[in-house]
Amino acid sequence: TYVVTDACIKCKYMDCVEVCPVDCFYEGENMLVINPSECIDCGVCEPECPAEAILPDTEDGLEKWLEVNTKYSESW
């Protein structure tokens, strides 16, 4: 899955939301999040993010952001 990280805070450009084929972006408290169980790992959103806030969760140190994405996307 891909995760949204802190570079998104107060950004919300929404470019990513428009390109996602499965509509798995949700609105968190002050940033957007990706629902990890809906994301199909297509990677289309990553280059669309002007803040470079979207990263694959295979990168180091993103456990915390995966938790944040999970928490806020499942409260809907």
Site residues (vs ligand SF4, CB under 6 A) = 2, 19-20, 22, 24, 34, 39-45
Give the residue with the Cβ less far from ligand SF4, 39 or 66. Answer: 39
Give the residue with the Cβ less far from ligand SF4, 41 or 52. Answer: 41
Minimum gap (Å) between residue 4 Cβ and ligand SF4: 8
The length of the chain is 76
Minimum gap (Å) between residue 55 Cβ and ligand SF4: 10
65, 71, 73, 76 alpha-carbon torsion, rounded to 10°: -160
* Position 40, amino acid: I
- Are 7 and 46 in contact by the 8 Å Cβ rule? The answer is no
